[in-house]
Amino acid sequence: MTSQFYPEYDDNAAYGGNGYEGNDYGPIGAATPMYRPAVTAFGGGHGLAASLRAMRRITDRITAVVTVADNGGSSGRLREEFDCLPPGDLRQALAALCADDFVGRTWAQVMQSRFRGDGPLAGHAIGNLLIAGLWQELDDPVAGLDMVGQLLGTRGRVLPMSLMPLDITAEVVGLDPNRPDEMYSLTGQSTIAKTSAEVIEVHLDPPDPPASPSVLEAIETSDVLVLGPGSWFTSVMPHLLVPQIVEAIMDSDALKILTLNVAGADETNGFSPARHLEVLAEHEPRIRFDVVLADRSFARSDPHLGTFARNLGARIVEADLAMHDGSARHDPLRLGGGPPPGAGGGGPGGAFGWPRPTPRSWGCASGDTLSTHSLTS
């Protein structure tokens, strides 16, 4: 059955008609007993959704940690009216973790559907209203999200980065073409995401917000931590501006993966792969990763990427990760495990196809994928 919510995919067809649940090879395309790692993924919006759709092929032990600074659209309206967390990116993560069957796809479509017309509900996502309603009833954001997850039958859990709504401020240059070197401040995620100026630095308001306690627990018990992909300054970077999250990541023995975007676009228009790493290190110099996962075409456009990755303690793993349509989006099928061997795919696992953990062996070379090496703790 072709997904109505994700029309570019027919997961059942891609897996020989069996989909995620019934494939003889399992979601990583390997006819062996599967290790299901506990994974915590950080991000927001479409980038995190693509990452989660990849991960759910490998494990159901997923925790999605989502930014809470959105101030536009339906989320912004609900946030302003009810003084609640913005539900939109949380909704997208829940929809991405819905099971890949008829019921799951239907729920995902319902969660993402928006009211039409020109009345007071116009533009609101149904999922946003459901989440906001449960928050109002339960007075507990985490409990409300868990209840929505139970209703949808999600293959994992979705948590807010912090339990307080946040704002993002960016310092930019190039906003005024007559004063290209002058620095300006922009406030609000929706404003920053649309600016044509170059973003130099971002801050959270209030600064140093407390992390959700459930997030810290998830990090502590994870086998794998994944940051990115997504809007680099408004979805990825905010997680590194929460001191408790940074400390927990640094203290963790989990495999740490930084997933680069497949192109410099939108907030990072014109950025090279190395520049993505550079601005991340400028915001949090202490952070280290084990792996920088990059789309092969994007990575090979930048001869400096290897140097910047090594400065973060990481090796580069390249794979073909981009959508077939040429857009600057990750293909979840490539990221999380394409068709099994002999079905037109690239073999077991895709980029996120972790094997059962063994002592770490960093003998992988540029061009390898995570699925073919012992990249686990």
Tell me the pLDDT tens digit for each residue of 153-195. Answer: 999 999 999 999 999 999 999 999 899 999 999 999 999 998 9
- Domain identity same for 92 and 51: no
- Domain identity same for 102 and 191: no
Per-residue pLDDT band at 21 (split at 50, 70, 90):
very low
| The predicted structure's pLDDT at residue 353 | 57
| CA separation for the pair 108, 284 (Å, rounded) | 35
- Domain identity same for 182 and 230: no
Strand partners, 185: 171
Q: What domain count does the chain have?
A: 3
- Domain identity same for 278 and 335: yes
Q: Do the beta carbons of residue 157 and residue 55 sit within 8 Å?
A: no
Domain of residue 324: give its range.
25-68+208-377
Q: What is the SS3 assignment for 111?
A: helix
- Domain identity same for 197 and 214: no
**Domain harbouring 283, CATH code:** 3.40.50
Per-residue pLDDT band at 350 (split at 50, 70, 90):
low
- Domain identity same for 180 and 316: no
Task: Look at residue 161 and tell me if it is in a domain.
Answer: no
Tell me which residue of 259, 279, 258 sits closest to 268, measured CA to CA: 279
| CA separation for the pair 165, 69 (Å, rounded) | 6
> Which of 92-96, 295-299, 349-353, 373-377 is the least confident region?
373-377
- Domain identity same for 271 and 370: yes
Structure tokens that stand for 129 in this block: 């209203």
- Domain identity same for 171 and 238: no
| CA separation for the pair 360, 357 (Å, rounded) | 8
Q: What is the Rg, in whole angstroms, of the alpha carbon atoms belonging to the chain? A: 20
- Domain identity same for 176 and 256: no
- Domain identity same for 151 and 188: no
DSSP class of residue 170 equals: E
- Domain identity same for 189 and 218: no
Q: Is the pLDDT reported for residue 362 higher than 60?
A: no
Percentage of the chain exceeding pLDDT 70: 80
Task: Look at residue 217 and tell me if it is in a domain.
Answer: yes
- Domain identity same for 247 and 286: yes
Per-residue pLDDT band at 342 (split at 50, 70, 90):
very low
Percentage of the chain exceeding pLDDT 90: 67
Question: Peptide bond before 209: cis, by omega within 30 degrees of 0?
Answer: no
Summary mean pLDDT of the chain = 82
Task: Look at residue 45 and tell me if it is in a domain.
Answer: yes
Task: Look at residue 13 and tell me if it is in a domain.
Answer: no
Task: Look at residue 16 and tell me if it is in a domain.
Answer: no
